[in-house]
Amino acid sequence: ITSIVVFFSLLISYLWVLNVKFDFNVIMLTLLGIIISYFANLFRMAIIVLAGHYRGMAALSFVHSYLGWFIFTIWMLIFWSLMSKLINLEHHK
């Protein structure tokens, strides 16, 4: 939940600062971003469980502490890169 709230808050703030019109495409990209954030979190949880199962509690604790933010950061960089390109393309039309 926290990663989705952070994602949504950052995205809305970013779009607001750029004065992007909240049209159908922007809303659809936002929903897609939230859905993919959810699946990225499921992926993170699966890795945490697997680390705990195969490597023990120390690995589970380490993966839980660090891997979640790493996955979230990579996802945000990819999404922001794609979103910026799409928004810039719309502004040039």
**Angstrom distance (rounded) from CA 84 to CA 39:** 22
Residue 51 is predicted with a pLDDT of: 94
Q: Give the model's pLDDT for residue 24.
A: 85
Query: What is the pLDDT, as a whole number, of residue 90?
Result: 56
**Model-wide pTM > 0.75:** no
Q: Is residue 7 exposed (0-12), middle (13-18) or buried (19+ Cβ within 10 Å)? A: buried
d(CA 33, CA 54): 31
Report, as ranges of residue numbers, the positions in the chain whose pLDDT lies below 70. 88-93
Looking at residue 92, its pLDDT comes to: 44
46 Cβ neighbours under 8 A, 6+ residues apart: none
